[in-house]
């Protein structure tokens, strides 16, 4: 990717992330009766920022299918709430026991374990509340809720996290890495894309194509993330590095080495791009995003 294209996609991502951030702040204004410490803990993790990849994908996929991004914003906020819930809980001592997230003390370090657990729980519940109260047609809201629940639960992200923990006791295995990445990371990114398609009332073929795009993008993203754990810095990534090997995590670098890991990430990106072929040139923004995922430094 040329420097100009790299700057262009960064600029597009930054503008969309700012739009998502504004909407998240309004969403988390909170009813008056909400316990203040709970609300502070929820806002703390949401306000820490991040790439906002998942909600941006929801907005951009909606637009690609001819929809208005305002129709997709509730789903975009919901998927970011689910993602942030997962980060709060992943950092807990019972799981990854990380003290740093997005460049700040992790939620349990800032507020204590009990408050962090409740903040994560509340964000997960809020995600479904947001979708159920959105202005989309009832049948679309039901489809969105089913999609997000499936991507979050035992067949998706949470199941992937459980497999990730169990994998720490096993020898490195590339097939197991693929299974974990598919559920833990790719399934929610796939859902983010499909949520955007639902918001646009996309055709079945569009929905399928964007689901395949999102899943392959998620595989590429996680493979690149595993590489960044070895090559990145805490300052750039905003979280501890070189922890995967110490924890015995199932990663491609441990299973097949650095070079093969890069090839796996690049091949997943090419499959993601190929899934967008039917959309033609209008998918250029998503194509650039897919290629950026494996070339990023944070």
Is this structure's pTM higher than 0.75?
Answer: yes
Q: How far apart are CA 174 and CA 279, in angstroms?
A: 32
Alpha helix (H) residue ranges in 66-203: 69-90, 107-111, 113-132, 138-152, 157-167, 174-181, 187-199
Q: What's residue 4's pLDDT?
A: 47
Residue 241 backbone class (left: φ over 0; alpha: ψ -120 to 50; beta: rest): beta
Q: What's residue 31's pLDDT?
A: 76
> What sign does the CA torsion over 130, 132, 138, 140 have?
positive
Q: What's residue 6's pLDDT?
A: 67
What is the DSSP pairing of strand 104-105 with strand 100-101?
antiparallel
Cross-strand pairs, 290: none
- Angle (nearest 5°) at CA 262 between 154 and 80: 40
Of 190, 207, 187, which Cα lies nearest the Cα of 199?
A: 207
Q: Dihedrals φ, ψ of 105, to 5°?
A: -55, 135
10 Å CB burial of residue 235 (0-12, 13-18, 19+) is exposed
Determine how many CB atoms are found less than 10 A away from the CB of residue 220. 27
Q: How far apart are CA 232 and CA 178, in angstroms?
A: 22
- Angle (nearest 5°) at CA 63 between 61 and 64: 60
Domain boundaries, the chain: 3-295
Q: What's residue 45's pLDDT?
A: 95
pLDDT along the chain (298 residues), means of 10: 63 95 92 87 91 97 96 98 97 91 91 97 98 96 98 97 95 96 98 98 98 98 92 64 76 95 96 97 95 81
Q: How far apart are CA 136 and CA 141, in angstroms?
A: 6
Q: How far apart are CA 41 and CA 94, in angstroms?
A: 19
Q: How far apart are CA 257 and CA 243, in angstroms?
A: 16
Q: How far apart are CA 124 and CA 126, in angstroms?
A: 5
Give tens-digit pLDDT for 234-245: 665 565 666 777
DSSP 238: S
Q: How far apart are CA 250 and CA 252, in angstroms?
A: 7
Q: How far apart are CA 14 and CA 282, in angstroms?
A: 20
Q: What's residue 2's pLDDT?
A: 44
CATH class for the region spanning 3-295: mainly alpha
């Amino acid at each position: 990717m040329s420097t100009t294209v790299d700057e262009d996609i960064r600029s597009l991502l930054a503008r969309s992330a700012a739009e998502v951030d504004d909407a998240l702040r309004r969403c988390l204004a909170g009813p008056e009766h909400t316990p203040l410490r709970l609300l502070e803990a929820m806002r703390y993790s949401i306000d820490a920022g991040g790439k906002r990849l998942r909600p941006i994908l929801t907005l951009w996929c909606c637009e690609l299918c001819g929809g208005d991004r305002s129709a997709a914003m509730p789903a975009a906020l919901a998927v970011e709430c689910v993602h942030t819930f997962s980060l709060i809980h992943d950092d807990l001592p019972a799981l990854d026991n990380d003290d740093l997230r997005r460049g700040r003390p992790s939620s349990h370090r800032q507020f204590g374990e009990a408050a962090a657990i409740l903040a994560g729980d509340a964000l997960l519940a809020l995600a479904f509340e947001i979708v159920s109260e959105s202005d989309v047609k009832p049948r679309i809201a039901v489809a969105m809720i089913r999609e997000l629940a499936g991507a979050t639960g035992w067949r998706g992200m949470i199941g992937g996290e459980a497999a990730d923990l169990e994998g720490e006791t096993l020898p490195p295995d590339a097939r197991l890495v693929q299974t974990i990445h598919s559920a833990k990371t790719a399934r929610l990114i796939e859902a983010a894309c499909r949520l955007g398609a639902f918001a646009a009332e996309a055709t079945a073929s569009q929905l399928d194509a964007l689901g395949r795009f999102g899943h392959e993008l998620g595989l590429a993203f996680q493979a690149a993330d595993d590489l960044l754990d070895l090559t990145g810095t805490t300052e750039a990534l905003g979280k501890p590095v070189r922890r995967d090997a110490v924890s015995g995590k199932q990663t491609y670098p441990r299973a097949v080495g650095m070079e093969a890991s890069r090839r796996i990430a690049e091949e997943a990106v090419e499959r993601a791009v190929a899934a967008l072929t039917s959309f033609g040139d209008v998918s250029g923004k998503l194509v650039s995003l897919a290629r950026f995922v494996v070339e990023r430094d944070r």
